[in-house]
Chains A and B, each alone.
Chain A
Amino acid sequence: DQQVKQNSPSLSVQEGRISILNCDYTNSMFDYFLWYKKYPAEGPTFLISISSIKDKNEDGRFTVFLNKSAKHLSLHIVPSQPGDSAVYFCAASGGSGTYKYIFGTGTRLKVLA
């Protein structure tokens, strides 16, 4: 049972435009959500997080939105840059107090120059 789902395996966006990456989850006990970026042959790098008490968190070009009723979160990148081309993973934790993080399958973003 996939508790965290990223239904779009890939996404292509023109440089300068907005990239929107989506993530759905099924466990209503999740209360902390993160986005990671991964380049080939490297470990995932933390981008931005949001707790369930908020519905939006911004950090520079990156904004994460959380819709708890829909069990949906999204990552917006504005403006998109070629260096943003990578695989993006969403992850969720919570409910048990043990901080187990469950990851989605990832979305490969390609920003076209």
Chain B
Amino acid sequence: NAGVTQTPKFRILKIGQSMTLQCTQDMNHNYMYWYRQDPGMGLKLIYYSVGAGITDKGEVPNGYNVSRSTTEDFPLRLELAAPSQTSVYFCASSNPGLTASPLHFGNGTRLTVT
């Protein structure tokens, strides 16, 4: 039972490069999220999706793009990497029904932009 899987675990990018952080979940959850965690800070919501084909901005969306073509996958795209995007990125999923439900997190991708 894999849960939420993120790849890669680590990545170093040069300024201006682009990359896609992959996230997949096998729990058939409708909701998926991308958060970033900077040192000593909490988790900030970048983008989220309430189902395939539907995405919306979170607290800190600038510099990122997402797509949700399937229930399982929610990739996060960085087009022009900047040092301010150095962070640990967490993907999460949940399946709220009539009430909210907890988020299930992956183990993160540590990204360094130099």
Residues of A whose CB lies within 8 Å of any CB of B are: 4, 6, 9, 31-32, 34, 36, 41-46, 49, 51, 89, 91, 93-94, 98-106
Contact = CB atoms under 8 A, between A and B. Distances in A.
7 contacts: A32-B100, A36-B105, A43-B107, A44-B90, A49-B100, A49-B102, A101-B33
Contact of B108 (A31, A43, A98, A102): A43
B74 to A, nearest CB: 15
A17 to B, nearest CB: 26
Given A43-B4, A101-B45, A34 B102 contact: yes
Interface stretch (B35-43, B61-69, B78-86): B35-43
Select the residue from A45, A101, A106 with max chain B CB neighbours within 10 A: A101
Contacts of B43: 44, 89, 91, 103
A102 B96 CA distance: 16
B99 interface: yes
Nearest to B31: A99
A89 B107 contact: no
Contact of B99 (A32, A89, A101, A104): A32
